[in-house]
Structure 1
Amino acid sequence: MTRIRLCDKTVREFNPVHKYNPRKGPRVALFYPAPYSVASQSLGFQLLYAYFVSYGVRVERFTYDSCGTSLESGKTLKEFDVVVVSSSFELDYPYLSEYLRKYGREGQRVIAGGIAPTSNPIPILDVVTNVVLADVEIAVPSVVDALFSGDWESFESLEFVVSGEDDEGKRAYANVAEEPLLSTQFVPLDFDPPWGKGFLVEVTRGCPWKCRFCLEGWVTKPFRQRDVEQVKRALANVRRPFEKVITISLSLGNYESVDEYLDSLIELKRKRKVQGSVPSLRLETVTEELLEKVKGLGQRTVTVAPETFDPLKARVLGKGYAPEFFKEKVSIINKLNLKLKVYMMVVPGEPARVTEGDAEVLKELAPGSHVSVNPLVPKPWTPLQGAPIPGEREERALSVFAEKLRYVDLYPVKWARLQAALGLARRPLGKHLAPTSDPEGLIRELNERGLISLKELESWRTDWDEPWLRFRVGDLKEIKRLGEDSYEAWKELISS
């Protein structure tokens, strides 16, 4: 057990990595722009911490609620020459910018990575030195080489390192089947993180499907799988204080060893009273046999994401299902007395009859399910990057679900708009960001400064010459082909 320092309290932490953290030698500040409780459940943050320590680098962690001092020793962020940032979401950027402005100093090298900055490094290039377009397993050794040698010029010459707007870059992918699986992780002892005291197990990376709205699915391609024997060796380390295993996979049902993996989780529950959990399941992969195993883990809710039941809207999204197919899968879930959570999506300008039709299908076929509805948020390096950001019409469409269904969560349109505006920025804007409770006010300010064009963001952008496409993150030819098809389907949808 170790003790860590947050702004207003000291917290006990289970941390088997800590004893290997070097006392001398090169060091980095590792920052996550969110509270510690969230950082503890970030696979990227956990991987960075363990990897740097394994390479003999002294790591001191910082989170948004550590007030500029490290969790380990209380050293200030200003004392570090190199800061490594793990960021998965565009809405992290205001917190990142404020933290560096408040607690950092001139001359620090700030290196950022993660899903959002990989898809478009430009928005934060005025507050960070480099953005790394690479998996952790490739990025960390490169940073370590520069830390020990001091040769940052060679580091910046690497193909996957972006240092300025005019740079080019290319995504670098790890062969996860040949990389060690994270088997030592930290977790707070004095409170539960958002998903409980979970041990993170990544069984696949990337996704074999082509949902046209999914940033993570496109940026992390190709689909890669862990060897199940390697996974089982990691599971052998799971014991209290961990209370559950959190499975990380964009498409668990496509994991070729899914049955053997779930059997291992069931055995872990039997022997050590540690529950297993699985993420959202692709409807095509839902079978009675699979759900029997999920139930055996102790999980009582199955999450699926049909997104829509309208065929034309499904073509826009690259995902959607006929009501009859959905009914078949729901009947399996009901047969096993499992609860159901459903994710749906609203696209820009969709006709009221389409929204009402989707809601009516859920009302008829899954009346007791918990439904979460999101507006489409266009993201860089996805086929739908050119779609309009959501607005008042989409807000009205979301409300239809709330009117017709009992248990509904609606993602606020105002935050979806800010998320899209930041992610699709064509100019650096990090210096102008700070945490806000008024996302529309921040959007207006960025628009008035000429850092974004709200007029362009609110219309469909059919040009494929966006500046972030210089950074070769995905298969541009395929993304463009699907994007053009989505645009044609969307025009047909809104005129129907």
Structure 2
Amino acid sequence: MNERSFMRKLALRDEILLKIEKPARYIGNEVNAVMKDREKVDVRFCMCFPDVYEIGMSHLGIQILYDMFNRREDVWCERVYSPWTDLDEIMRKQHIPLFALESQDSVKEFDFLGITIQYEMCYTNILQVLELSQIPLLAAERGEDCPVVIGGGPCTYNPEPLADFFDMFYIGEGETVYDELINLYKEYRAAGKSRREFLVAAASLPGIYVPSLYDVTYKEDGTIASFAPNTPGVPETVEKQIVMDLSESVYPQAPVVPFIKATQDRVVLEIQRGCIRGCRFCQAGMLYRPTRERDVEMLKKTAEAMLKNTGHEEISLSSLSSSDYSQLEELVTYLIDECRQRGINISLPSLRIDAFSLDVMSKVQDVRKSSLTFAPEAGSQRLRDVINKGLTEEVILNGAGQAFEGGWNKVKLYFMLGLPTETEEDRKAIAHLAEKIAERYYEVPKEKRNGKCQITVSTSFFVPKPFTPFQWAPMYTRDAFLGSARTVNHEMKEQKNYRSIRYNWHEADVTVLEGLLARGDRRVGAVILDAYKNGALYDAWTETFHREYWEQAYEHTGVDPAFYTVRERDTEEILPWDFINIGVSKAFLKREWQRAHEEKVTENCRSKCAGCGAACYGGGVCFEDKN
């Protein structure tokens, strides 16, 4: 593009941006954004997060891949996010194609469009990105002039509801196979090979799943009869890709700094991947096994570089369970010394509430302003054993007591409703536990208390997820979810200290839809497409979610959502995601499903290997072998 046409394009863009909310979402040129000469690169990769800029800029995975791609001289990676509804309306009326932030070029001009699929409620936003990019929604209708649309992220562990819309999916951690994929693309393009020839070749790479190369058949009862490749040489099983040595893998020293406040406006330091705990409802805890730590010296150097290169005033330690990082004390001590000198705050999410954690938090937080977060998940000990939470009531109350004695008076408690085997007594136990925590506060001597006790109880509704021991479990209906919340709410008001307790709960409509999309098969793709055509967009946002758009789609497509939500699955049934190997064996998941019904607790990985299979996956070693 010559300079004159480029300036015309910028003038048109600026004219449009003056008419919308938060134009800084779309202008690019942020600190540490990468600019390259488009004529000097071989491959252009557009990285997309299908939600608004503020949320997408908070996503660590995109920052890692953006940095990794742009280290290659032959690749220029740029970014794009879902336009908010105001810009969406203008682009449709004026037929303006969606553009990348760095070059402002149309997304359709790129070689790859990589979409991070972080949560199910963004599925209609994916179709928005494709349509505004003027890329056919269905992969089967794309020609040689379209970018290769590739999906990654946690939702790709059941890619089937989105199978019709993607050319391929990357199953696993992005640091492993992307270089091979890009090199293969360059080779096939140089040889003049077709789009399909490239897709067939790419399917032989580890972790790459090309949906068009597989066929699904169904039984009369609607369950899957078979799932198999339809092309010679395509593997029957797709293997999850993982990085075993995180300390040597790529990590951004200079992440892009957003112009406007992001959801998480801070430096993010990932200290480990995986989790040793084995909660039976937790998909991330199973997907990211085995647990892998980054070396503490690498983290110190990285933290120093990121703070210097961004100007952020806060650093957050990222992990599924930060307390389980073996070098946490040394790292936090170092950061406290460094950050105190610079006036930088430290955020420590995902800590277990024990004496060490409380001591650390008291050093890095303003105790009088901050609140502590507990996630008991279930009110009764029986149900905590069912979900393998690994927390006793004694531990919870002792932790709360130590926190109150340390000066905290604000506590947030997170629970789930609709868990397998849940009873009315289990629901009422949520209120009883909140009451016991409030009572524990008033046992603290008055001189140590910090004003009134403030307890916030939040309940989400349980959604069974693929590759968890609860993947076979039935979900509650919308009315059952709301009924369970009413039970908790009523019981909460019966407690002596109810004025110190505030209760809120999640939206049931959204939860039921999430359940459909989480465990759906390819037939659900028609529902997503129909709902999008009805107007569904930004389904994760309360103000833009419309239940009626989805109900119309169910009726029009003939898909019964109850088949995917409230139906309990047989453990021998072929599940839509069974063709993926994540390292954790199906035999282990079945065993944990059985132990849940027996109310038996399975020890954490550091205490005793449970034989899930992930310890040996990709060359890993279990904790028992290390010792």
Q: TM-score normalized by structure 2?
A: 0.72
Decide whether the 8 Å contact of 2:519 with 2:576 is kept in 1: no
Whether contact under 8 Å (1:346, 1:398) holds in the other structure is: yes
Matched, 1:163 2:210: yes
Taking a change above 3 Å as real, the CA distance of residues 411 and 320 of structure 1, as seen in their structure-2 partners, is farther
CA contact (8 A) 2:164 2:522 kept: no
> Cα offset for 1:142?
2.7
Out of 461, 477, 500, the position equivalent to 1:375 is 461
Moved over 6 A (4+): 3-6
Aligned equivalents of 1:320 and 1:399: distance in 2?
Answer: 27
Distance in 1 of aligned mates of 2:555 and 2:464 = 18
Q: Pick the aligned partner of 1:388 from 468, 474, 477.
A: 474
Identity of aligned residues (%): 22
Q: How does 1:422-437 map onto structure 2 within 5 Å?
A: 422-428=517-523, 429=525, 430-434=528-532, 435=537, 436=539, 437=545
Report the alpha carbon displacement of residue 273 of structure 1 after superposing the two structures with TM: 1.3
Q: CA deviation at 1:236?
A: 0.9
Question: Which residue is equivalent to 2:82?
Answer: 64
Q: Per-residue CA shift, 1:131-160, capped at 9, x if unaligned?
A: 111201114223322343236343221131
Change (3 A) 1:201 1:104: farther
Q: Does 1:90 align with 2:120?
A: yes
Per the alignment, residue 346 of structure 2 pairs with 276
User: Whole-Å Cα distance in 2 between the matches of residues 452 and 252 of structure 1?
Assistant: 41
Q: In the superposition, relative to structure 1, how do residues 244 and 481 fare at CA in structure 2: closer, same or farther (>3 Å)?
A: same
**Deviates most, 217-226 or 438-447:** 438-447
Give yes or no for the alignment of 1:439 onto 2:547: yes
Q: Does 1:459 align with 2:567?
A: yes
The residue number in structure 2 matching 1:15 is: 31
Task: Show the counterpart of 2:92.
Answer: none
CA distance in 1, matches of 2:418, 2:335: 38
Q: AA paired with 1:462?
A: D
Distance 1:86 1:334 in 2: 41
1:357-380 CA distance string (max 9 Å, x none): 121111231462222211111111
CA change 1:59–1:456 in 2 (3 A) is closer
Instruction: Structure 2 unaligned segments of length 5 or more: list them.
Output: 1-9, 89-97, 136-141, 190-197, 215-227, 230-236, 439-452, 493-497, 540-544, 601-627
The one-letter amino acid paired with 1:172 is: Q
Partners in 2 of 1:288 and 1:75 — Cα distance?
Answer: 53
CA distance, structure 2, for counterparts of residue 375 and residue 364 of structure 1: 23
C-alpha displacement of 1:115: 0.6
Distance 1:328 1:443 in 2: 47
Question: 1:411 aligned to 2:506?
Answer: yes
Report the aligned-residue RMSD: 2.6
CA distance in 1, matches of 2:184, 2:206: 15
1:3-152 alignment runs, 5 A limit:
8=20, 9-10=23-24, 14-19=30-35, 24-25=40-41, 26-56=43-73, 57-65=75-83, 68-105=98-135, 106-107=142-143, 108=146, 109-117=148-156, 119-150=157-188, 152=198
Q: Secondary structure at the match of 2:40?
A: coil
The separation in 2 between residues aligned to 1:260 and 1:483, in whole angstroms, is 38
Could you tell me which residue of structure 2 aligns to residue 494 of structure 1? none
Code of the residue aligned with 2:578 in structure 1: it is L
Equivalenced residue count is 482
* 141-150 vs 214-223, which moves further: 141-150
Residue 187 of structure 1 aligns to a residue whose secondary structure is: coil
Kindly tell me: are residues 271 and 69 of structure 1, through their superposed partners in 2, closer, same or farther at Cα, counting changes over 3 Å?
Answer: same
* Amino acid aligned to 2:281: F
CA distance in 2, matches of 1:37, 1:449: 34
The 3-state SS of whatever aligns with 2:454 is: coil
Match of 1:125, SS state, is helix
Q: CA deviation at 1:14?
A: 4.1
Contact 1:86 1:112 in 2 (8 A): yes
Q: What is aligned with 1:493?
A: none
The answer to whether the aligner puts 1:420 opposite 2:515 as a matched pair is yes
* 1:278 to partner: Cα distance: 1.2
Cα shift readout 1:323-345 (whole Å, capped 9, x = no counterpart): 22211011111122233222111
Q: Is the 8 A contact 1:85 1:113 kept in 2?
A: yes
Q: Which residue of 2 aligns with 1:296?
A: 363
1:211 counterpart residue number: 279
Matched residue type, 1:273:
G
2:31 alignment partner AA: N
1:308 aligns with 2:395: no
Partner of 1:361: 433
Whether contact under 8 Å (1:208, 1:223) holds in the other structure is: yes
State the shift of 1:306 in Å: 1.0
SS in structure 1 opposite 2:175? helix
Aligned partner of residue 426 in structure 1, secondary structure = coil
Shift of 1:47: 1.1
* 8 Å CA contact 1:346, 1:397 repeated in 2: yes
Rg larger in 1 or in 2? 2
Q: Using the alignment, how far apart are the partners of 2:373 and 2:29 within structure 1?
A: 31
The one-letter code matched in structure 1 to 2:354 is T
Give CA-to-partner distance per residue, 1:88-130, whole Å, 9 cap, x none: 111111111222133242333101100111x211111111111
- Show the counterpart of 1:478: 588
AA aligned to 1:298 is Q
Contact residue 519 and residue 564 of structure 2 kept, 8 A: no
- Specify which of 227, 233, 238 is matched with residue 295 of structure 2: 227
8 Å contact kept, 1:211–1:317: yes
Any conservation in 2 of the 1:315–1:486 contact (CA below 8 Å)?
yes
**Aligned 8 A contact 1:198 1:246 in 2:** yes
Does the 8 Å contact 1:121/1:162 carry over to 2? no
8 Å Cα contact 2:207-2:238 kept in structure 1: yes
Output one character per residue of 1:12-36: Cα deviation in whole Å (capped at 9) or x when no partner. Answer: 7643252578762111111110111
Evaluate the alpha carbon distance shift between residue 62 and residue 363 of structure 1 in structure 2; reply closer, same or farther with a 3 A threshold. Answer: same
CA distance in structure 2 between the partners assigned to 1:340 and 1:62 by the alignment: 38
CA distance in 1 between partners of 2:254 and 2:555 (Å): 45
Could you tell me how far 1:350 is from its partner in structure 2? 2.8
Higher alpha-carbon deviation: 242-251 or 13-22: 13-22
SS at match of 1:469: coil
Check the 8 A contact 2:32/2:257 in 1, yes or no.
no
